[in-house]
């Protein structure tokens, strides 16, 4: 690395920095900075040409001011000048400035690209290095377009210096990450792989990073890297601790390179060639052996570096999951770390062991550490380590230790940090269900959960216990007895009341024989909780009461009295009132037979994967719930756990989801013919729909209420894919101030947008991604404009391929021409067939009037002069509205700029206000627009005023912009 210019070489800079450091207050600092900015501005604008040294000094100052968090909007030109200098110190500062303060001004970019091109061709390794670093730092698409073809050549050329090769590899990596489409694979790929053999370890390190990333996307092309990586790794791990000179870190040979090589190997399965495979196994054994040897240095750096390599080696062993011997050794090694005095090691050991637990070879070995892990749960002082311990317990749980683990987790739950309680609750609920041999234990566990951490027991958990109790008749009596006893507690959690109410309503008769839990006592017990409960729970209890009328005719009059009381019949809550009225009516007029039919016991729930599991996965993200079995089921559970918009549900349900038999029960038959006419039927829908409210807003007596769950899941399918515009207004509004992002996403399809606009023209790239593994057929996206819109907006689209493969993405280009101002947005309609079902959805396409804005800078005087000219009441539209987001000035500024107008600083006499100006370009006219936004922090309100020469434009812009704050 060439020496950096000395800080003390620029006295002015040092003085300025120490001035800033000595500032006593923020205000003083800002004052000093403003003074300096004014000074630099005048110097740059002055007639006297500045010499290289002064330019460098001022640019450095600007950079420093930027680093302090102030915006810098000038100096780019001077920086570009410096960058073309032949002096290293000047060139370096120029590049630094450009790298840090990237500017999208195209004129400037052209100049910069030119300078870079010269430096790349200069054959001066230092200059080439600077240029490559600048490309990597900026990493923009323009840069990629200009240089992505050039860099691979530099990288593989025989005469390129090592340091340049190194930079070229990393530069290419950066460009590949930002614009993979612009980095072409080609002849160079095979030559890049051979860099793994390079003499220079720096080049090898850089190349390994590059190859790892490329290999993830193009495994076939880089397959040969496996054997090269293995032999390189082998040479490193067997080298003496001083062999590698500069690349030895505290007696550990090239630790970071080793980690990277091990990571590269994790892109591939175990090598097929037995020789390579043998050599790799040897390497891994050597690494494991070294962990047992006495350390070569007492320094913590030595052991840290050694352990970094060890952990990566263990990751590779787990990834291959094929050598039982290595897996068990890895497990033993991690076991030692579990009791290490360094918290970091304990944390990492718990984390690695979690993945080890899911391998069939090492599952048993992991289980031997159960006591240590439980102890960690009790004694560990760091919540993140405890969290890992919980994860590991969850991962190592099986039938043999479930009771112990669940008991320990419940124990821990009493004192657990609030941040992880909900997750523990979910985990306990899942384990209890999964490994229950005896369902009484399951019921006890869940009730304990509610007792200990009722607030953290989500709906999924108590829905699930009810599903299970209803499906298993051997546990119903026990469940009724247990909830009855639990409800005796003077204070019990509302979730317990819900479970209790539901279970007693169904199975209260099973314990009614005992005089201690006679019908009347059951009813009084429940009713004593009634007034303390929230509306949804009360609604549920009312359903329990009507069920009691059927179960226990002897207390019918008591219940009728309760229903008849003013607090029920005249309840302010419509749902409660309606239930009371209808249940009362039902109990009075219906014959016993009808009552018995209407209020029959709930039919068994169809078996499907636990909604709890889905919830846990949603919480943790896929892949982190480590259980082989579960990973296989992930697809089906995703279907279950959807909380997405309505039409999504429809498509999710229509997908044939493999019913996951978690309980080992036979699938319960679905009875289409006899819908169970139960008022609680409505609850069932909730259980599956993940909806927020506990009780579906269906009142008994209405026809809907008798819809069976199977109807709910089958009929919706045929009806729902109607042509309704997808209500993604929120997403639509997000695009008003930005051009790229995800427009729509459900479980099948993701739609991404990239768009650019210039004057009255625009181009939009729509990306349709098939998120499933199944082909979409007859895929037809259509952009629809209403008649009004057609005359003002010209849209041209190319048809796309009608089949979209699973996991694939297709792109569609829309060319846009704005003829005159317009109000509505075009609609994007998409139809396709997925797995036999027809899908149809529509979203608004965010092509809005403001996209055709060109910002206009103007002085305060000009602004107000024009403002006055547009004083005709028809030209002004004003909106006063409440802030929807936190009122942050910086965000507001960014939004106004994103909206397309120029943000005019120091124009409004009140600095808290924002003013902007711009011109809307249409084919027929250009419309000048002025806007002013006045925030009122106290009232959390805004007043937005738009003045343009055209009323409709003012109106539309005002609407669009008002939604943003």
Partner 1 sequence: MIKFFLMVNKQGQTRLSRYYEHVEINKRTMLEAEIIKNCLSRSKDQCSFIEYKDFKLVYRQYAALFVVVGINETENEMAVYELIHNFVEVLDKYFSRVSELDVSFSVSEIHLSVSFWCTFQFMLSSWH
Residue 250, both tokens:
């505290």
From the CB of 310, what's the least distance to partner 1, in Å? 8
Bridge partners, 580 (sequence order): none
DSSP character string of 454-506? GGG--HHHHHHHHHHHHH-TTTHHHHHHHHHHHHTSSS--HHHHHHHHHHHHH
Residue 45, both tokens:
């604008």
Residue 471, both tokens:
């499906």
Cβ proximity to partner 1: between 623 and 666 the closer is 623
Cβ proximity to partner 1: between 148 and 410 the closer is 148
60 is in an annotated binding site: yes
Cβ proximity to partner 1: between 92 and 517 the closer is 92
From the CB of 44, what's the least distance to partner 1, in Å? 19
From the CB of 22, what's the least distance to partner 1, in Å? 12
58 is in an annotated binding site: yes
Is there a contact between 365 and 353 (Cβ–Cβ < 8 Å)? no
Is there a contact between 393 and 377 (Cβ–Cβ < 8 Å)? yes
Cβ proximity to partner 1: between 303 and 568 the closer is 303
43 is in an annotated binding site: yes
From the CB of 362, what's the least distance to partner 1, in Å? 20
From the CB of 410, what's the least distance to partner 1, in Å? 24
Is there a contact between 723 and 737 (Cβ–Cβ < 8 Å)? no
Cβ proximity to partner 1: between 207 and 480 the closer is 207
From the CB of 786, what's the least distance to partner 1, in Å? 35
Is there a contact between 904 and 919 (Cβ–Cβ < 8 Å)? no
Residues 6+ apart with CB under 8 A from 808: 769, 770
53 is in an annotated binding site: yes
From the CB of 3, what's the least distance to partner 1, in Å? 7
Cβ proximity to partner 1: between 133 and 615 the closer is 133
From the CB of 530, what's the least distance to partner 1, in Å? 42
Is there a contact between 545 and 502 (Cβ–Cβ < 8 Å)? no
Cβ proximity to partner 1: between 525 and 894 the closer is 894
Cβ proximity to partner 1: between 249 and 767 the closer is 249
- Residue 200's CB is within 10 A of a number of other CB atoms, namely 16
From the CB of 940, what's the least distance to partner 1, in Å? 19
The CA distance from 882 to 36, in Å, is 39
The CA distance from 624 to 727, in Å, is 32
Residues 6+ apart with CB under 8 A from 46: none
Is there a contact between 204 and 169 (Cβ–Cβ < 8 Å)? no
**Angle between helix 556-564 and helix 574-589 axes, rounded to 10 deg:** 140
The CA distance from 822 to 792, in Å, is 6
Cβ proximity to partner 1: between 358 and 495 the closer is 358
Cβ proximity to partner 1: between 310 and 749 the closer is 310
From the CB of 653, what's the least distance to partner 1, in Å? 29
The CA distance from 651 to 660, in Å, is 19
Bridge partners, 944 (sequence order): 879, 933
End-to-end CA distance of the chain: 48
Cβ proximity to partner 1: between 96 and 338 the closer is 96
Cβ proximity to partner 1: between 39 and 528 the closer is 39
Cβ proximity to partner 1: between 13 and 696 the closer is 13
From the CB of 808, what's the least distance to partner 1, in Å? 24
Residues 6+ apart with CB under 8 A from 159: none
Burial class (CB in 10 A: 0-12, 13-18, 19+), 127: buried
From the CB of 124, what's the least distance to partner 1, in Å? 16
Please report, for residues 46, 157, 162, 950, the alpha-carbon distance to residue 165 in angstroms, rounded to integers and kept in the order given: 42, 9, 5, 59
Which one-letter DSSP state was computed for residue 947? E
Cβ proximity to partner 1: between 134 and 228 the closer is 134
DSSP character string of 851-866? GGEEE----HHHHHHH
Chain residues in the site for partner 1 (CB under 8 A): 1, 3-8, 13-14, 17-18, 20-21, 60, 63-64, 67, 69, 92, 95-96, 99-100, 129, 133, 136-137, 166-167, 170, 173-174, 177, 202, 205-206, 209, 249, 255-256, 259, 263, 301, 304-305, 307-309, 311-312, 315, 343-344, 346-348, 381-385, 387, 621, 888, 890-891, 894
378 is in an annotated binding site: no
Task: Using CA atoms of 889, 890, 896, 901 in order, give the dihedral in degrees to the nearest 10.
Answer: 120
The CA distance from 558 to 521, in Å, is 12
Considering only CA atoms, which of 881, 882, 865, 878 is closest in space to residue 928?
865
The CA distance from 648 to 644, in Å, is 6
Bridge partners, 811 (sequence order): 767
12 is in an annotated binding site: yes
From the CB of 864, what's the least distance to partner 1, in Å? 29
Please report, for residues 106, 264, 690, the alpha-carbon distance to residue 923 in angstroms, rounded to integers and kept in the order given: 24, 54, 49
Considering only CA atoms, which of 879, 843, 906, 891 is closest in space to residue 961?
879
The CA distance from 245 to 255, in Å, is 13
From the CB of 737, what's the least distance to partner 1, in Å? 12
The CA distance from 423 to 214, in Å, is 36
Cβ proximity to partner 1: between 388 and 921 the closer is 388
- Residue 945's CB is within 10 A of a number of other CB atoms, namely 18
From the CB of 269, what's the least distance to partner 1, in Å? 17
The CA distance from 615 to 481, in Å, is 29
26 is in an annotated binding site: no
Considering only CA atoms, which of 431, 507, 511, 440 is closest in space to residue 470?
507
Backbone torsion region of residue 123, taken as left when φ is above 0, otherwise alpha when ψ lies between -120 and 50, otherwise beta: left
Binding-site members are 11-12, 43, 53, 57-61
């Amino acid at each position: 690395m060439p020496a950096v210019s000395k800080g003390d070489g620029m006295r002015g800079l040092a003085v300025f920095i120490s001035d800033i450091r000595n500032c006593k207050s923020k205000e003083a600092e800002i004052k000093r900075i403003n003074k300096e900015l004014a000074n630099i501005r005048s110097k740059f604008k002055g007639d006297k040409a500045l010499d290289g040294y002064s330019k460098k000094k001022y640019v450095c100052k600007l950079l420093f001011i930027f680093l302090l968090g102030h915006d810098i909007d000038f100096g780019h030109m001077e920086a570009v000048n410096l960058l073309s200098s032949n002096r290293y110190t000047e060139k370096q500062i120029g590049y630094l400035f450009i790298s840090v303060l990237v500017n999208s001004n195209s004129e400037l970019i052209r100049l910069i690209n030119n300078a870079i091109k010269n430096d790349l061709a200069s054959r001066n390794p230092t200059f080439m290095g600077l240029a490559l670093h600048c490309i990597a730092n900026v990493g923009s698409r323009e840069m990629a377009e200009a240089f992505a073809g050039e860099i691979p050549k530099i990288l593989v050329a025989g005469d390129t210096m090592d340091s340049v090769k190194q930079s070229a590899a990393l530069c290419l990596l950066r460009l590949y990450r930002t614009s993979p489409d612009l980095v072409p694979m080609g002849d160079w790929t095979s030559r890049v792989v051979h860099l793994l053999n390079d003499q220079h370890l720096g080049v090898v390190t850089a190349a390994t990073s590059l190859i790892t990333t490329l290999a993830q996307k193009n495994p076939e092309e880089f397959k040969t890297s496996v054997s090269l990586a293995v032999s390189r790794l082998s040479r490193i791990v067997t080298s003496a601790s001083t062999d590698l000179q500069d690349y030895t870190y505290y007696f550990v040979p090239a630790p970071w390179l080793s980690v990277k090589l091990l990571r590269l190997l994790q892109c591939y399965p175990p090598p097929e060639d037995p020789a390579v495979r043998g050599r790799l196994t040897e390497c891994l054994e050597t690494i494991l052996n070294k962990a047992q040897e006495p350390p070569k240095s007492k320094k913590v750096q030595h052991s840290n570096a050694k352990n970094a390599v060890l952990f990566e080696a263990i990751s590779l062993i787990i990834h291959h999951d094929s050598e039982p011997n290595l897996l068990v050794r890895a497990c033993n090694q991690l076991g030692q770390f579990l009791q290490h005095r360094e918290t970091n090691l304990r944390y990492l050991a718990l984390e690695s062991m979690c993945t080890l637990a899911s391998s069939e070879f090492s599952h048993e070995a992991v289980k031997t550490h159960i006591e240590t892990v439980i102890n960690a749960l009790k004694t560990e002082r760091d919540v993140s380590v405890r969290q890992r311990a919980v994860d590991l317990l969850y991962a190592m749980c099986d039938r043999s230790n479930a009771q112990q683990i669940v008991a320990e987790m419940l124990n821990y739950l009493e004192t657990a940090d609030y941040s992880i309680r909900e997750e523990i609750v979910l985990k306990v609920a899942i384990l209890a269900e999964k490994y229950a041999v005896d369902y009484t234990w399951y019921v006890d566990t869940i009730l304990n959960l509610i007792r200990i951490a009722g607030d953290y027991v989500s709906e999924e958990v108590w829905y699930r216990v009810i599903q299970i109790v209803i499906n298993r008749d051997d546990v119903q009596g026990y469940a009724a007895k247990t909830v009855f006893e639990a409800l005796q507690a003077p204070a019990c959690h509302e979730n317990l009341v819900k479970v209790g109410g539901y279970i007693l309503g169904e199975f209260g008769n099973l314990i009614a024989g005992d005089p201690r839990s006679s019908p009347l006592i059951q009813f009084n017990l429940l009713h004593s909780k009634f007034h303390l409960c929230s509306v949804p729970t009360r609604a549920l209890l009312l359903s329990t009461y009507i069920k009691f009328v059927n179960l226990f005719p002897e207390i019918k009059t008591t219940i009728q009295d309760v229903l008849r009381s003013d607090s029920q019949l005249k309840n302010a809550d419509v749902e409660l009132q309606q239930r009371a009225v209808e249940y009362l009516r039902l109990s009075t007029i219906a014959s016993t037979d009808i009552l018995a039919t209407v209020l029959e016991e709930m039919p068994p729930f169809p078996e499907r994967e636990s909604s709890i599991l889905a919830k846990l996965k949603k919480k943790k993200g896929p892949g982190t719930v480590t259980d082989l079995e579960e990973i296989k089921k992930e697809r089906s559970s995703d279907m279950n756990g959807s909380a997405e918009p309505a039409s999504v549900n429809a498509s999710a349900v229509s997908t044939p989801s493999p019913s996951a038999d978690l309980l080992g029960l036979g699938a319960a038959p679905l009875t289409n013919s006899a819908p169970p006419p139960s008022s609680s039927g409505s609850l069932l829908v909730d259980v599956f729909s993940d909806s927020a409210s506990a009780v579906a807003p269906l009142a008994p007596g209405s026809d809907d209420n008798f819809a069976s769950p199977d109807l709910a899941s089958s009929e919706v399918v045929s009806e729902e894919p109607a042509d309704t515009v997808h209500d993604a207004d929120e997403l639509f509004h997000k695009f008003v101030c930005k051009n790229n992002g995800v427009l729509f996403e459900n479980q099948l399809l993701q739609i991404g947008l990239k768009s650019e606009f210039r004057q009255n023209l625009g181009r939009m790239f729509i990306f349709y991604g098939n998120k499933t593994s199944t082909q979409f057929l007859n895929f037809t996206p259509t952009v629809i404009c209403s008649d009004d819109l057609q005359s003002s907006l010209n849209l041209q689209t190319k048809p796309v391929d009608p089949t979209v493969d699973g996991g694939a993405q297709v792109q569609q280009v829309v060319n846009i021409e704005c003829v005159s101002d317009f109000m509505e947005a075009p609609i994007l309609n998409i139809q396709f067939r997925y797995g036999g079902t027809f899908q149809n959805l529509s979203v608004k396409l965010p092509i809005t009037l403001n996209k055709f804005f060109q910002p206009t800078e103007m002085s305060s005087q000009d602004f107000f002069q024009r403002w006055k000219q547009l004083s005709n009441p028809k030209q002004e539209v004003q909106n006063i509205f409440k802030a929807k987001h936190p009122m942050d000035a910086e965000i507001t500024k960014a939004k106004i700029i994103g909206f397309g107008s120029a943000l005019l600083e120091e124009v409004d006499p009140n600095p808290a206000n924002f003013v902007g100006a711009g011109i809307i370009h249409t084919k027929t006219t250009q419309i000048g627009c002025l806007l002013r936004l006045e925030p009122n922090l106290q009232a959390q309100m805004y007043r937005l005023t738009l003045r343009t020469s055209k009323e409709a434009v003012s109106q539309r812009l005002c609407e669009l912009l008002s939604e943003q704050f």
